Structure 1
Amino acid sequence: MKSSKSLDEKIKIDNNLSNRYIDLDPNGYFIIKVDLEENKIILEHFLNNINDDGYALDPETNEPIKCDSQNKRVSNEVFKGISAKQLGILITEERNDLITRFDHALYLGRELQKAEECLYKKLPYIQD
């Protein structure tokens, strides 16, 4: 019974942490997708224009981008791979200009591991 309580506690903590404020990485952000037909993890990099309040701005309107925005942005760069390790090395060792914040790197590592698991289990992936 103790393990169920521990799992419930972990889920509660993780959910609370997912809703905290985070500073955006000035060098951009990533959208992660899993393509089950191509059997690849796709990592799209987008550039950031951040205002003094820490909000990402639309490059055309200079207005803050809302989370629920239907605005289709064009990625700056696209990376494809079959594992979290492969993509992690691509964006941190082969390129060292995409990530400037440790919290961003840790987040991407967690999300890439999650995406890899979804890829191999043929499950839908939802980015946190």
Structure 2
Amino acid sequence: MDLTIENLVKIDNSLSQRHIDLDPAGYFIIYLDRAANLICAKHFTNIINESGLAVDPETGRVIPARGKLNRTHTNFFSGRTAKEICVELFEKAYPQPLTMLSHAAYLGREFTRAEAALVAGREYVQD
């Protein structure tokens, strides 16, 4: 397979369809604060139920993968670059708000995508 943009997108889209185990330590909502030129990440706690779904620890309700949910975040991280927010999250945060290396790798990829969108003035939507 040639390494064209189209083929790379196909690879990424295919990998985005795989099963992933959810981190019992919680999840992050990543967004851009364009006024402050920052990449931001809010951390929310969850519990993984017997079906492997994330549930709100307070209500026991399943947390939907899409759509808006009114919950209060437990931590907030921000940085001007992907590296800066990764240092804040992975090197300075205690206790660590994640427990899985796959989750850390995902966050690094998303922070890099967010940085590219911030610099280019493009919309950023978390994958």
| Distance apart, 1:57 and its partner CA | 0.8
How far, CA to CA, are the matches of 2:67 and 2:83 in structure 1?
31
Comparing 38-47 with 7-16, which one deviates more in the overlay?
7-16
Partner of residue 116, structure 2: 117
Q: Quick one: which amino acid aligns to residue 34 of structure 1?
A: L
Is residue 51 of structure 1 aligned with residue 49 of structure 2?
Answer: yes
Equivalence for 2:79: 81
Q: CA deviation at 1:69?
A: 4.0
Note if contact 2:45-2:57 (Cα within 8 Å) is conserved in structure 1.
no
Matches within 5 A, 1:21-60: 21-60=19-58
Q: TM-score, normalised by structure 2?
A: 0.89
Aligned CA RMSD, in angstroms, stands at 1.6
Q: Which runs of 5+ in 1 are unaligned?
A: none
How far residue 54 of structure 1 moved from its aligned partner, in angstroms, is 1.2
State the match for 2:97 in structure 1. 98
Three-state SS of the structure 1 residue aligned to 2:115 is: helix
Deviation at 1:18, TM superposition (A): 0.9
Q: Percent sequence identity over matched residues? A: 42
In 2, Cα distance between equivalents of 1:36 and 1:28 = 25
